[in-house]
Structure 1
Amino acid sequence: MWNEFKKFALKGNVMDLAVGVVIGAAFGKIVSSLVDDIIMPLVGLLIGGVNFTNLMVKVGGAEVKYGLFIQNIVNFLIVAFSIFIVVRMINKYFKKKEETQAAPAPVVDKNVELLTEIRDLLKHNQS
């Protein structure tokens, strides 16, 4: 059982996934800081100096913090857009790579090539 687990854990896909999770978490912090510290204050200034973190409605004894919700939506949109851009770039890279590795032109037999030339000459002479 230990050997199977070790074989599973050390597979390339699992290691890639672990690296992706760590980088994703760090990227999430960067995007959160971008939204919280740069974008939302600027958006707040543009719409009249509103601080989104303080926007809330009291309903009974509960506080509905819709400002934080708006901030999280902006955060999500930035993360989703940046992931879209990265995936798009990767897809373009692999598409170009596939195109360059396309199958070489089919090898035409010399007899077929000669017959094709004769056919073309006959068509040319008839017209």
Structure 2
Amino acid sequence: MARNNRGIIQEFVEFISRGNVMDLAVGVIIGGAFTSVVNALVSTIIQPLIAAIGGSPDVKGLAVVLNGQTIDFGAFISAVISFLITAVAVFAIVKAVNTMNDLKEMAIKKAGLASMIEKEQAPAPRTCPYCKQEIADDATRCPHCTSKLAGYENAIEAR
């Protein structure tokens, strides 16, 4: 039984240490912090600006009392406005990150083209005339078929 528990614990540790789980955790934490920033923006800047223009910062007239319970549509509308502001801000951030990634990919492609041009200018790899396998430039025997290549010297065979 202890062996089975150790396996479960090890699997859990592997699951938690995966990159995408950590990324998700960071995203949730940052999302919570970002939501509080947006709520502060709405309650301390946008609603006072609406009140300064002459409107009511809260949508208070939209409440219905039903069987002693208050259904507050104004609070719901304020939450929807906060959500829309959050969604627009997240969209702008994601769009900026995607644009950066696209620029990075284009730079990599340009670098890849440069390396392809360098490869085209590089001499073709040396191949064995017998088995047609690629061999090192300084080889005197083919490692694939053991044929003697140009430049092969053996003092014992020379006698």
TM-score bin, normalised by smaller chain: 0.7 to 0.9
Return the match for 1:30 from 37, 40, 43: 37
Residue 37 of structure 1 and its aligned partner are, at CA, apart by: 2.2
- The structure having more radius of gyration, on CA atoms, is 2
- Equivalent pair of 2:50/2:57 in contact (CA under 8 Å): no
**Whole-angstrom distance in 1 between the partners of 2:26 and 2:66:** 45
- Equivalent pair of 1:55/1:68 in contact (CA under 8 Å): no
Residue 23 of structure 1 and its aligned partner are, at CA, apart by: 1.1
**In terms of mean alpha carbon deviation, does 68-77 or 53-62 score higher?**
53-62
Identity within the alignment, %: 37
Work out whether 1:83 is the aligned partner of 2:115. no
- Equivalent pair of 1:31/1:78 in contact (CA under 8 Å): yes
Residue 53 of structure 1 and its aligned partner are, at CA, apart by: 5.4
**Whole-angstrom distance in 2 between the partners of 1:73 and 1:81:** 12
Number of aligned residues: 108
TM-aligned CA distance change 1:100 to 1:2, over 3 Å: same
**TM-score normalised by L of structure 1:** 0.73
Segments of structure 2 that go 5 or more residues without pairing to the other structure are 1-7, 122-159
Work out whether 1:99 is the aligned partner of 2:106. yes
Alignment partner, residue 10 of structure 1: 17
Root mean square deviation of aligned Cα: 2.0
Partner-residue secondary structure (3-state), 1:23? helix
Segments of structure 1 that go 5 or more residues without pairing to the other structure are 110-127
Q: What amino acid sits opposite 1:70 in the alignment?
A: I
Q: What amino acid sits opposite 1:32 in the alignment?
A: N
Query: What CA deviation, in whole Å up to 9, does each residue of 1:92-115 have, x standing for no partner?
Result: 110000000103155468xxxxxx
**Whole-angstrom distance in 1 between the partners of 2:14 and 2:26:** 17
Query: What CA deviation, in whole Å up to 9, does each residue of 1:39-73 have, x standing for no partner?
Result: 12212332x34141533333443423222122112
Q: Which has the higher contact order (CA 8 A, sep 6+)?
A: 1
Partner-residue secondary structure (3-state), 1:38? helix
**TM-score normalised by L of structure 2:** 0.60
